Structure 1
């Protein structure tokens, strides 16, 4: 028998694994395949762009795991936690932990759902690999947080906290929305909008910040996770083009999905803007510049320029996101500061170098609209706290407290009527999404409504802490916290507080 070439060997190991059911109709085995209106003529010609067999996949992932765990072990053994530039960095890592780790686990379930419901071999094998990737990411991040919980507050009851914390309804709503969509829409939601458009801006700037402040452990987490994303991005791009090339009737359906899922992913990643601009004391890049590089240049001016030949335009509210880049991180940080008493991560008093950097990076907006708020916090860190928990957007479930980028002195909050009830959204983008599928979002569990209705008991503040697994000492402001005091004591023990002239 002749030796198989690379392409033939790949096909032998990953193709011809499907079968035609004899006793059941294909539409019963795959009941969702025709529900979305997508036309498939010859999907068998679609190829996984990486053409990776399973044994190759396991070998590569094993090597990456070995590299990451070596870095993690060295960091833990050498008191790396005490050597970062400023301990407030770990408040940002807690934000990341709360939002991203549960999202990774949900992504693995979503890719399994896509693979089960699309009878195309190449997509099924690619989504199988990606499902394992996402589970690996979730496990690596949990391992990271397990070590952090020895040194910092807020993560001792991580499973319960991430399940019940109101903040985590944001990633939950995104993935629940995708999981209850059809399989092709779900594929666009995760592989295109989440992975292709926003994954670089999620991991690269924040991982770079980790390296800059001395957190080699988190930098290694970011690098090993991001190393998988090139395959995920390629899957999203090739699947999108395959669907567009199959039939012209697919184009308006896909355009509607791109309109929806661009804005949904953009709002999901809102907190990353604050993590990039505020939490690190040394910042390699601003959110504004990262957005211009990774979204405007690579996606809007690169990818969507290539998609014009299919009849695809920019997502419906892309221009709004470009306007908002000068305000995004500041308005998100203000929201986080308002509710620092109801989260596992704390706010913090800005330092003189923070004001200088933010003013230089955002000369048109920071000093005029946001610096006055944060300076009020200098004298009394709870001056701007809001009682209870916030009113949230019906769609993205981020607090509906974003300023209108065209008129920053006014809120961007929108209102829609459905079945004689008023629903609140945070922006025109979320309003549009709600009005396309109001029946899907009217089922929202609203934390503020639960708070007011007594769901947390007669003493709702105590009820919130019991529900989330936190204590009052784990919330509030960072520099006056017990965590910061312990970090300073740890550094003193290691001799890191000594100065030599």
Structure 2
């Protein structure tokens, strides 16, 4: 038999793995297939763009794991934690931990759901690989946080904190929304909107910040994860083009999903804007510039121009996100400072170089709208703390405290009526999503409501922190915390006296 080329080998090792049920109706085996209105004529022609067989996949991933763990062990053995230029960086890593790692685990479940319910061999094989990717990401991140928990506050009961902390309702709401959608919508939600549009802005700027401040452990995490994301992005792009080319009747369905999931993904990444602009003491790039490069240039001006031939336009609220880039990170940091007494990661007083950098990067907004807020903490770190838990958006579950980018002195909060009840959303984008499926979002779990109803315990606020999995001493402000004192003592013990932090 003649030798097979690479394409033929891939086809032989990944196709003909499906089975055609003879005794069962296909509609019963795949009950979700026709629920969304998607038309499939000849899906067998679609191929995984990476054409990677399982044995190749395992070899590549094993090599990446070996490299990551070598870096991690070296970092831990050489007191890398003490050598970052400012310990407040780790407050940002805690926020990343609580927001992103649970999302990675949820994404692996979502990929398994998609693969189970779409009878297309190439999609099933690609989602199988991606499900393993996401589980691997969750595991290496947990390994990273396990080491951190020996050095820093806030993560000693990580599983409990991830399950119960109000902050984590944001990623939970995104993935629960996707998992309760049909399989094709779920594929667009994660593989296209989450992965293709936003994964670069998730890992690249924050990993660059990690390198700038000296956290080589997190750099290794970012590189190991991001190297998988190229495949995930290709899956999202290929799957969307396949659906658009199958039948013109798919176009309005895909457009509706893009309108929804662009804004949902944009809001779930709100905390990343703050992690890029605020928590690193050295910032290689601002959120605004990263958004312009990775979203405006690559996605809006690149990808969506190519999609015009299918009849696809920009997502409905894309222009709102462009306007909001001048305010996004500052508004989110302001929210986090309002509620730093109820989070596993702390806020912090801005230092003189912070004010200078933020004013230079955001000359039209920071000094005028946001610097006065942060300066209130210069003499009293809890001067801007809110007395309770936030009122959150009914869709994204981010606190509804975003300024209107067209009129920054006013809140962007929106209201909708459904079944004689008023529901609040954080923006026109979330209001539109709510009003498309109000029956879905009226069921959301609201931490503030649960707090008031006694779900966290009868002794409030005494029972609140045991429920969250950390103590009041692990919250509040970083530079006045015990953690910062320990970090300074650790550096002194190592003879690392040259630091830039104000102590």
Same fold by TM-score, threshold 0.5 exceeded? yes
Task: Give, in whole Å, the separation in 2 of the partners of 1:359 and 1:482.
Answer: 30
For 1:50 and 1:178, locate their aligned partners in 2 and report how far apart those are by CA, in whole Å. 25
Do structure 1's residue 102 and structure 2's residue 102 form an aligned pair?
yes
Q: Which residue of 2 aligns with 1:361?
A: 361
Q: Is this contact kept in 2: 1:388–1:451, CA < 8 A?
A: no
Which residue pairs with 2:410 in the alignment?
410
Tell me how far 1:451 sits from its aligned partner.
Answer: 1.6
Q: Relative to 1, partners in 2 of residues 1:498 and 1:110: Cα closer, same or farther, differing over 3 Å?
A: closer
Residue 456 of structure 1: CA displacement? 2.4
Residue 459 of structure 1 and its aligned partner are, at CA, apart by 2.8
Say if 2:261 is the partner of 1:261: yes
Q: Is the 8 A contact 1:32 1:182 kept in 2?
A: yes
Aligned to 1:251: 251
Partner of 1:194: 194
Report what 1:399 is aligned to. Answer: 399
Name the CA distance, whole Å, in 1 between partners of 2:359 and 2:454.
Answer: 43
- Determine the C-alpha separation between the residues in 1 that align with 2:60 and 2:478: 40
CA distance in 2, matches of 1:7, 1:87: 50
Partners of 1:74 and 1:355 lie apart in 2 by: 35
Find the aligned partners of 1:498 and 1:15 in 2 and give their Cα distance.
59
Who is 2:58 aligned against?
58
The Cα of 1:455 is off from its aligned counterpart by: 2.3
Match of 2:296 in 1: 296
Q: Does 1:210 align with 2:210?
A: yes
Change (3 A) 1:9 1:352: same
C-alpha separation between the residues in 2 aligned to 1:462 and 1:405? 38
Structure 2 CA distance for partners of 1:4 and 1:498, relative to 1, 3 Å: closer
Q: Which whole-Å CA distance do the structure 2 matches of 1:293 and 1:463 have between them?
A: 45
CA distance in 1, matches of 2:228, 2:140: 13
Spell out structure 1 runs of 4+ moving beyond 3 A: none
Other-structure match for 1:436 = 436
Moved more, 1-10 or 68-77: 1-10
> How far does residue 498 in structure 1 lie from its aligned partner after superposition?
5.8
Q: Aligned partners of 1:6 and 1:278: how far apart in 2?
A: 47
After superposition, where does 1:293-372 map in structure 2 within 5 Å?
Answer: 293-372=293-372
For these two proteins, the number of residue pairs brought into alignment is: 499
Partner of 1:272: 272
Q: TM-score, normalised by structure 2?
A: 0.99
Question: How far apart are the structure 2 equivalents of 1:180 and 1:456?
Answer: 26
Give the Cα separation in 2 of the matches to 1:420 and 1:265: 29
Alpha-carbon distance between aligned partners in 2 of 1:243 and 1:456, rounded to the nearest angstrom: 45
Deviation of 1:410 (Å): 0.4
Q: Identify if the C-alpha distance between structure 1 residues 360 and 71 changes in structure 2 by more than 3 Å, giving closer, same or farther.
A: same
Correspondence list, 1:65-214, <5 A = 65-214=65-214
Matching residue of 1:475? 475
Residues 16-59 of structure 1 deviation map (CA, whole Å, 9 limit, x = unaligned)? 11111011000000000000000000000001000000000000
Distance (whole Å) between structure 1 residues aligned to residue 115 and residue 455 of structure 2? 39
- Give me the whole-angstrom Cα distance separating, in 2, the residues matched to 1:188 and 1:56: 26
* Aligned counterparts of 1:125 and 1:304: Cα–Cα separation in 2: 27
Q: Which aligned pairs between 1:419-430 and structure 2 lie closer than 5 A?
A: 419-430=419-430
In structure 2, distance between residues paired with 1:156 and 1:422: 39
Q: Is the 8 A contact 1:201 1:294 kept in 2?
A: yes
Which shifted more, 5-14 or 170-179?
A: 5-14
- Encode CA deviations 1:228-275: one digit per residue, 9 max, x unaligned: 000000000000000000000000000000000000000000000000
Distance across 2 between alignment mates of 1:189 and 1:348: 34
Superposition deviation, residue 497 in structure 1: 1.3
* Separation of aligned partners in 1, 2:497 and 2:373: 32
Per mean C-alpha deviation after superposition, the further-off stretch among 273-282 and 379-388 is: 379-388
Q: How does 1:454-469 map to 2 (within 5 A)?
A: 454-469=454-469
Distance 2:498 2:22 in 1: 77
Distance 1:437 1:141 in 2: 34
> How big is the shift at 1:185?
0.2
Q: Distance in 1 between matches of 2:497 and 2:276?
A: 27
Secondary structure, counterpart of 2:378 in structure 1:
helix
Pair 1:498–1:194, CA change in 2 (3 A): closer
* Corresponding residue number in structure 1 for 2:41: 41
Q: Secondary structure at the match of 1:430?
A: helix
Alpha-carbon distance between aligned partners in 2 of 1:4 and 1:456, rounded to the nearest angstrom: 62
Partners of 1:45 and 1:458 lie apart in 2 by 60
Alpha-carbon distance in 1 for matches of 2:221, 2:409: 39
For residue 495 of structure 2, what is the aligned residue in structure 1? 495
Partners of 1:388 and 1:461 within 8 A in 2: no
- Taking only aligned residues, the RMSD between alpha carbons, in angstroms, comes to 0.7
Deviation at 1:7, TM superposition (A): 1.2
Deviation at 1:2, TM superposition (A): 1.9
**DSSP 3-state at the match of 1:58:** helix
Distance 2:11 2:66 in 1: 29
1:37 counterpart SS class: coil
Structure 2: distance between partners of 1:5 and 1:332: 52
TM-score by length of 1: 0.99
SS for the counterpart of 1:408 is strand
